[in-house]
Structure 1
Amino acid sequence: MSSYLIGLVGSGIGPSLSPALHEREADRLGLRYVYRLLDLDVLRLPPGEVLAAARTAGFDGLNITHPAKQAILPHLDELDPEAAALGAVNTVVLRNGKAIGHNTDATGFAHSLSRGLPDVAMEEVVLLGAGGAGAAVGHALLSLGTARLGVHDVDPARAAALVEALRRRFGAERAGTCEPSAVRTADGLVHATPTGMAAHPGLPIDESLLREDLWVADIVYRPLETALLAAARARGCRVLHGGGMVVLQAAESMRLFTGVQPDAARMLAHFEEMEGEPAHAA
């Protein structure tokens, strides 16, 4: 039986469902698979030192989450083309003495949106958050056909850098920076910051900007019903929680770690069992 030691690197990751998702699917696949949380807040080490320690300890791979998706980049030996284009990594394969960075967030979000909100208008979409997760979501939205993407971040330089990367890949007319008030005329809103997580409660936007004909997607999944989604639902918006994205990116990460294709539908069902809600639109 093949065996794997995998970890999750990030801050405030105690509530993560990743260990249960990965280990249960590995059992179904006949793999010996141990998944450990490497919480930066607990270890009090920067991401690069955690990666170095994981390599020394014999880890086979790492998932990377907030706030390390970009901070980990200088410490990797290689990047696959998608991760290089996104400028962010959520999966690191440790093999043959090398740390190779990948990004499964973009495809995970794209598949989740297509599955959960398959018929929404995407002429104009606002993206809140230009960090590692925001970069993946931005690329996914433009790949899915968003005509004009407005990007807002509390750090204007970070928003501008993501817009520049998106323009290089998709064309100058497809992306620009914006203020949250752009939501007033947008078709959709995607939230990709830590706000709303258990450790970062609150709303990322003034709820008065939400309106009935706006769709709202959140990449946060703990809690599944964030304050943003609750406010959007109360105003009649169609909403998408972060469960589908986290499951679908996890399935692709497992494939990269093991070379074995997980059953994504089975993993979605397991997530629904743990959360008591479907892992797509709500």
Structure 2
Amino acid sequence: MSGSILLGLIGEGIGPSRTPALHEAEGLAQGHATVYRRIDTLNPPARDMGIEEILKAAVATGFNGLNVTHPHKQEVMAHLDEIDERAKSIGAVNTVVIRDGKTHGYNTDVTGYARGLSEGLPDADLSRVVQVGAGGAGFAVAVSLIEAGVAELLVADIDPERAQRLADNVNAVTGGNKVRGVPTAGIEEEIRTATGVVNATPVGMKELPGTAFDTSCLTPHQWVSDVIYMPIETQLLADAKAKGCRVLDGSRMAVGQAVASFELFTGLKADVDRMRATFLAQGEA
């Protein structure tokens, strides 16, 4: 890749996003002036534009690529020239590469979590995992877990039907029957016999403090993962550490997703450690 790099993020309420700094610092470190714009659809001018119009404007003005976040990951798919098979199977696009005037859609959420798991907990026992939360990032995390080698995955949600839908979809995508949906009521009994636990709910964010289940059920032999990265140490991870569990914080997935997107945008090999350092340097704010 030669010259400068122009990227952006489409989403609602994305002011606090750490993604711009990750891409700008990595591009610059590799010798390319890099600009990463927030395209917040809650605010003008993007608020008054449709996704198709935003994409056309990005192509016309020479953007190299766009990240896409809530609530546009599904909506954007109808307006792309090509979509990667993996993104099609997941039903969501979070990375749009612009090449020769055409838009190409990818999903790096699955690979992002998988990279974080392999780097942060390379020898995790994947025999029996409980994932709490079947919305938002839940699908990508569940697919990642099965592809990483989880033998049995229980997905718990307040809405048991949503949990089972997610389980059915993951089983279809991964070609197996290792995933089962269960209600969150009484999930602590299932967690006690699990080798690993993943929080894929928003509970634990600064705006929604606490934990999604009673952490007194955790045991020291377990590993515990959280997809939340603001704060990096959630109440769940603090409780898990106090119990003697090994933990995986949400920064791993966030950085892994950004690494994969940067490489798709630029064709350059990203430095994972450098991008993680940039992420952590932004603190808890």
TM class by shorter chain equals 0.7 to 0.9
Q: Which one-letter code corresponds to 2:241 in the other structure?
A: R
Q: How does 1:146-225 map to 2 (within 5 A)?
A: 146-180=150-184, 181=187, 182-225=190-233
Q: Tell whether 2:249 aligns with 1:241.
A: yes
What SS class does the counterpart of residue 190 from structure 1 fall into? strand
Q: How does 1:93-132 map to 2 (within 5 A)?
A: 93-132=97-136
Q: CA deviation at 1:129?
A: 2.7
State the partner residue of 1:230: 238
Q: Alpha-carbon deviations, 1:103-151, whole Å to 9, x = none?
A: 1121221121111112221111112233452222111111111001111
What SS class does the counterpart of residue 253 from structure 1 fall into? helix
What SS class does the counterpart of residue 87 from structure 2 fall into? helix
Q: Does the aligned pair in 2 maintain the 1:47–1:72 contact within 8 Å? A: no
Q: CA deviation at 1:253?
A: 0.5
Q: CA deviation at 1:79?
A: 1.6
Describe the shift of the 1:191–1:70 C-alpha distance in structure 2 as closer, same or farther (beyond 3 A). Answer: farther
RMSD: 2.6
State the partner residue of 1:36: 37
Q: Does the aligned pair in 1 maintain the 2:163–2:183 contact within 8 Å? A: no
Rounded Cα–Cα distance in structure 1 between residues aligned with 2:101 and 2:162: 32
Q: CA deviation at 1:263?
A: 1.8
State the partner residue of 2:88: 84
Q: Tell whether 2:20 aligns with 1:19.
A: yes
Percent same amino acid among aligned pairs?
47
What SS class does the counterpart of residue 173 from structure 1 fall into? coil
Rg (Cα) greater in structure: 2
Q: How does 1:125-144 map to 2 (within 5 A)?
A: 125-144=129-148
Rounded Cα–Cα distance in structure 2 between residues aligned with 1:72 and 1:204: 31
Describe the shift of the 1:198–1:8 C-alpha distance in structure 2 as closer, same or farther (beyond 3 A). Answer: farther
Q: Which one-letter code corresponds to 1:104 in the other structure?
A: T
Q: Tell whether 2:273 aligns with 1:269.
A: no
What SS class does the counterpart of residue 89 from structure 1 fall into? coil
Rounded Cα–Cα distance in structure 1 between residues aligned with 2:44 and 2:235: 29
Rounded Cα–Cα distance in structure 2 between residues aligned with 1:131 and 1:70: 13
Q: Does the aligned pair in 2 maintain the 1:47–1:71 contact within 8 Å? A: no
Q: Does the aligned pair in 2 maintain the 1:188–1:214 contact within 8 Å? A: yes
What SS class does the counterpart of residue 72 from structure 1 fall into? helix
Describe the shift of the 1:39–1:123 C-alpha distance in structure 2 as closer, same or farther (beyond 3 A). Answer: same
Q: CA deviation at 1:171?
A: 4.2
Q: Does the aligned pair in 2 maintain the 1:163–1:175 contact within 8 Å? A: yes
Q: Tell whether 2:75 aligns with 1:74.
A: no
TM-score, length-scaled by structure 1: 0.86
Q: How many aligned positions are there?
A: 276
Mean alpha-carbon deviation: is it higher for 75-84 or for 19-28? 75-84
State the partner residue of 1:279: none
Q: Which runs of 5+ in 2 are unaligned?
A: none
Q: Does the aligned pair in 2 maintain the 1:87–1:132 contact within 8 Å? A: no
What SS class does the counterpart of residue 197 from structure 1 fall into? coil
What SS class does the counterpart of residue 93 from structure 1 fall into? strand
Rounded Cα–Cα distance in structure 1 between residues aligned with 2:158 and 2:80: 27
Q: Which runs of 5+ in 1 are unaligned?
A: 277-282
Mean alpha-carbon deviation: is it higher for 139-148 or for 85-94? 85-94
Rounded Cα–Cα distance in structure 2 between residues aligned with 1:47 and 1:155: 34
Describe the shift of the 1:174–1:203 C-alpha distance in structure 2 as closer, same or farther (beyond 3 A). Answer: same
Q: CA deviation at 1:157?
A: 4.3
